[in-house]
C-alpha cells in the first residue's frame, strides 16, 4: 500500500482559529451566563461540540489523502464529501495544471482535485505520486 498525505495549511489555520474562537465563546458564556436556565446549557454544549469539530479539522476530513492498494486508487480530498475509489485499470489519463489535477476515466467521467491552494512542492508530490502509482 502506498499513501500520500497532504495537509492544506491555509484551511487548517482557518479551522483551528474558528475552534479557538468557539472555545473562547464558551468561556465568556460561562462567566456571564445564568446557569439556572436551559438555553445556557444548550449554548455551552453546542459551542463545545462545534469547537471540537473545528479543532479536529472536521475529524480529519480536511486532510488530503491518496492511497493505492490492490489496484485501486482511493481519493480523500478536502473538497469531496466522501472517499472516491477508482480502479486503476479504469483510468484513461491524468492531466495536471496549476489549479487542478484531472483524472479522466474510460467512461468519460472526470474527477477534479483542486491543487490551487497547495504549495508548489505539494502539487509536484501529487503529480509524482499519481505518475508512479498509475503509470500515466
62: left (phi over 0), alpha (psi -120 to 50) or beta: alpha
Structure confidence by residue, pLDDT tens digits, 24-45: 999 999 999 999 999 999 999 9
Minimal CA–CA distance to 134: which of 51, 54, 67?
67
Q: How many CA atoms lie within 13 A of 37 on its CB side?
A: 8
In the prediction, which pLDDT does 87 show?
Answer: 95
Q: What is the pTM of this model?
A: 0.73
Q: Are 103 and 113 in contact (CB under 8 A)?
A: yes
Structure confidence by residue, pLDDT tens digits, 105-135: 999 999 999 998 888 899 999 999 999 998 8
C-alpha cell at 74: 482511493
In the prediction, which pLDDT does 45 show?
Answer: 96
In the prediction, which pLDDT does 117 show?
Answer: 82
Q: Any idea what DSSP says for residue 125?
A: H
Whether 62 has a pLDDT exceeding 80, the answer reads no
In the prediction, which pLDDT does 68 show?
Answer: 95
Amino acid at each position: 500500500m502506498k499513501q500520500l498525505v497532504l495537509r492544506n495549511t491555509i484551511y487548517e489555520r482557518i479551522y483551528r482559529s474558528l475552534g479557538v474562537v468557539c472555545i473562547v465563546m464558551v468561556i465568556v458564556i460561562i462567566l456571564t451566563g445564568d446557569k439556572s436556565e436551559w438555553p445556557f446549557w444548550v449554548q455551552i454544549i453546542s459551542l463545545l461540540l462545534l469547537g471540537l469539530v473545528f479543532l479536529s479539522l472536521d475529524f480529519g476530513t480536511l486532510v488530503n489523502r491518496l492511497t493505492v492498494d490492490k489496484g485501486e486508487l482511493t481519493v480523500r480530498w478536502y473538497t469531496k464529501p466522501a472517499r472516491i475509489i477508482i480502479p486503476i485499470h479504469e483510468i484513461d489519463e491524468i492531466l495536471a495544471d496549476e489549479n487542478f489535477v484531472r483524472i479522466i476515466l474510460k467512461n468519460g467521467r472526470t474527477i477534479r482535485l483542486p491543487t490551487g491552494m497547495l504549495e508548489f512542492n505539494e502539487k509536484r508530490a501529487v503529480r509524482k505520486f499519481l505518475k508512479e502509482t498509475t503509470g500515466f
